[in-house]
Amino acid sequence: MSIDPYLDYLARFEENVGAMSVGSYGKYHGRLIRKLAAEEFTLKFGEYSKLSDHYRTMLERGDTLNDALTKILRERRDELLLEDDLG
């Protein structure tokens, strides 16, 4: 793991999807995933981090989970090639 999350993402992409240029598509867990540029990654990673924090807070409080939130989190997790840590 490096200091730069984008470098970690690039390593995960190459390991799990393959060596491809930015903007190319590959398969990951049965889904088509597009290799993100650094700017796109930063936006999506920031969104995922905020939503993930909100999701964990909801779990801790025992709130009813919103299906839309769960769907978006899973989509972002797959796009960023992150392990399932939502649960």
Does residue 57 carry a pLDDT above 80?
A: yes
Pairwise CA distance, residues 10 & 55, whole Å: 26
SS3 27: strand
Mean confidence (pLDDT) of the chain:
90
Pairwise CA distance, residues 46 & 48, whole Å: 5
Averaged over 12-28, what is the pLDDT?
96
Interacting residues of 7 by C-beta distance below 8 A, sequence separation 6+: none
- Nearest CA to 13 among 3, 28, 23, 2? 28
> What per-residue confidence (pLDDT) applies to 86?
58
Model confidence pLDDT, tens digit, residues 28-48: 988 999 999 999 999 999 999
Does residue 4 carry a pLDDT above 70?
A: yes
